[in-house]
């Protein structure tokens, strides 16, 4: 029996914080030993501080942990962060400076030139930015690794196998996003009952920029953005969990629908080779029924870590179109950061 890494969670009482705790319950590598939040819950035991909103009971191991302020030191070896963007920059940097590896789901550092924005199946080699980051920021053992925005992860995973095999020139993505993506209390029910909201703040910008970095190439100690164009329109729909996206893609070289389907369905990458604990056996699941994917039926595929793709068809303007779906707080947030941490352990960054 190996000793587990002791982890702290920043933003532990929020929607993503709760998902971190749920996913880490019984995890073979990590054990939650510290919880921090920026709100009035500090000083209370977690069971009292947190209104648990996930199905099933709060894991017993965290019930008695006292919620601390989000500042070092915390009693742990590394931290996961789902802090709000507004305060994440300062706090996450302070943890890295204090020697903690920081696995961040926040948008604060994602586009910084020396910070890896990682999806393990796509761009694990971007982790080599960590050296530059440590050097330039004067970090010692600590560092920051980020995962993308929830919608970007889905888009990037769906595009990656196509980009690798055929080259992607442009992609138009239109999202239908779940309520949990807005956190809690998030979207007022009066705004979404019998309604759709055609606006999610900064979401379109994040998708249009982050995707290019993730699919970009490491050149020396820099990331060269992928030479493609991305257009995003984002909508909030009345669904608890599971972001959907209607996606058109223009390829560099022609491909049949069979080749495209095969590229998506057969795609495996490093996390699958390394058999990382949270890595789904199939990063992308292709369904052939005419009416799939659907949020309620497909969000939990691969333990919430697979992207489900369906309705692959030729498009009158682009080369192809399809619909993608993934669980926005698992693959799109907490699960993304945990998979990054598993990769960092496997590659001995931690």
As annotated, the active-site residues are 150, 243
Token couple for 340: 């990054």
Phi first, then psi: give them for residue 149, nearest 5 degrees. Answer: -50, 150
Does residue 259 belong to the site contacting a copy of itself (CB under 8 A)?
A: no
| Listed ranges 27-35, 131-139, 150-158, 229-237: which one lies at the site for a copy of itself (CB under 8 A) | 229-237
Place of tokens 């030993």: 33
User: Which residue in the set 25, 294, 347, 349 belongs to the binding site for a copy of itself (CB under 8 A)?
Assistant: 294
User: Which residue in the set 11, 295, 302, 332 belongs to the binding site for a copy of itself (CB under 8 A)?
Assistant: 295
For the bound state, the minimum distance from the C-beta of residue 57 to a copy of itself, rounded and expressed in Å, comes to 8
Does residue 2 belong to the site contacting a copy of itself (CB under 8 A)?
A: no
Give the C-alpha separation, 264 to 300, whole Å: 19
User: Which residue in the set 1, 2, 190, 254 belongs to the binding site for a copy of itself (CB under 8 A)?
Assistant: 190
Place of tokens 């223009």: 250
Are the beta carbons of 199 and 205 closer than 8 angstroms? no
320: enclosing H helix or E strand: strand 320-326
Are the beta carbons of 156 and 214 closer than 8 angstroms? yes
| Listed ranges 124-132, 159-167, 175-183, 270-278: which one lies at the site for a copy of itself (CB under 8 A) | 175-183
Residue 241, burial from CB neighbour count under 10 angstroms (0-12, 13-18, 19+): buried
| Listed ranges 108-116, 185-193, 252-260, 274-282: which one lies at the site for a copy of itself (CB under 8 A) | 185-193
Token couple for 14: 């929020």
Q: Is 211 annotated as a binding residue?
A: no
Give the C-alpha separation, 304 to 335, whole Å: 8
| Listed ranges 69-77, 100-108, 118-126, 166-174: which one lies at the site for a copy of itself (CB under 8 A) | 166-174
| Listed ranges 29-37, 76-84, 128-136, 240-248: which one lies at the site for a copy of itself (CB under 8 A) | 240-248
Give the C-alpha separation, 265 to 312, whole Å: 12
Q: Is 53 annotated as a binding residue?
A: no
Does residue 323 belong to the site contacting a copy of itself (CB under 8 A)?
A: yes
Give the C-alpha separation, 193 to 250, whole Å: 36
User: Which residue in the set 111, 192, 218, 274 belongs to the binding site for a copy of itself (CB under 8 A)?
Assistant: 192
Does residue 230 belong to the site contacting a copy of itself (CB under 8 A)?
A: yes
C-alpha distances in Å from residue 56, one per residue of 22, 60, 106:
9, 11, 26
Give the C-alpha separation, 273 to 30, whole Å: 20
- Count of residues touching a copy of itself (by CB under 8 A): 57
Task: Give the nearer residue to a copy of itself in terms of CB position, either 76 or 244.
Answer: 244
Residue 317, burial from CB neighbour count under 10 angstroms (0-12, 13-18, 19+): exposed
Place of tokens 């001995």: 348
Residues 57-96, one symbol each (x = binds a copy of itself by CB under 8 A, - = not), give ----------------------------------------
Give the C-alpha separation, 37 to 81, whole Å: 10
For the bound state, the minimum distance from the C-beta of residue 291 to a copy of itself, rounded and expressed in Å, comes to 4
- Three-class SS of residue 319? coil
Place of tokens 């601390």: 68
Q: Is 15 annotated as a binding residue?
A: yes
Q: Is 107 annotated as a binding residue?
A: no
Token couple for 13: 């009482």
User: Which residue in the set 194, 220, 288, 348 belongs to the binding site for a copy of itself (CB under 8 A)?
Assistant: 194
Residues of the binding site for NADP(+): 13-16, 40-41, 180-181, 328
Q: Which residues bind a copy of itself (CB under 8 A)?
A: 15, 53-56, 170, 172, 174, 176, 179-180, 184-199, 208, 229-231, 233, 235, 237-240, 244, 246, 248, 290-297, 300, 310-311, 315-318, 321, 323
Residues of the binding site for phosphate: 110
């Amino acid at each position: 029996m190996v000793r587990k890494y002791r982890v702290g969670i920043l933003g532990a009482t929020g929607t993503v914080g709760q998902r971190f705790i749920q996913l880490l319950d019984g995890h073979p590598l990590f054990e939650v030993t510290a919880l921090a939040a920026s709100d009035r819950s500090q000083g209370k035991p977690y069971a009292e501080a947190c209104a648990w909103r996930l199905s099933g009971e709060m894991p017993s191991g965290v019930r008695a942990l006292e919620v601390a302020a989000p500042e070092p030191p915390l009693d742990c070896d590394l931290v996961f962060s789902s802090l709000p963007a507004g305060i994440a920059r300062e706090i996450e940097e302070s943890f890295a400076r204090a020697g903690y590896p920081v696995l961040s789901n926040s948008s604060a550092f994602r586009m910084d030139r020396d910070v890896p924005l990682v999806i393990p199946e796509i761009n694990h080699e971007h982790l080599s930015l960590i050296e530059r980051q440590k050097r330039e920021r004067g970090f010692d053992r600590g560092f920051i690794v980020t995962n993308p925005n929830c919608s970007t992860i889905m888009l990037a995973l769906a595009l990656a196998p196509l980009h690798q095999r055929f080259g992607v020139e442009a992609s138009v993505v239109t999202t239908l996003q779940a309520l949990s993506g807005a956190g809690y209390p998030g979207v007022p029910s009066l705004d979404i009952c019998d309604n759709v909201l055609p606006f999610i703040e900064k979401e379109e910008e994040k998708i249009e920029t982050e995707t290019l970095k993730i699919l970009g190439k490491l050149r020396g100690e820099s990331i060269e953005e992928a030479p493609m164009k991305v257009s995003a329109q984002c909508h909030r729909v009345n669904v608890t969990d599971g972001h959907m996206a209607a996606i058109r893609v223009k390829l560099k070289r022609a491909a049949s629908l069979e080749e495209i389907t095969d590229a998506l369905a057969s795609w495996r990458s490093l996390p699958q080779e390394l058999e990382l604990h949270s890595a789904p056996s199939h990063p992308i699941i292709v369904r052939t029924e005419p009416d799939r994917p659907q949020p309620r039926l497909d969000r939990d595929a691969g333990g919430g870590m697979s992207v489900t793709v369906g309705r692959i068809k030729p498009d009158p303007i682009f080369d192809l179109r399809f619909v993608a779906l993934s669980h926005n707080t698992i693959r799109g947030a907490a699960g993304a950061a945990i998979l990054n941490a598993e990769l960092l352990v496997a590659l001995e960054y931690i």
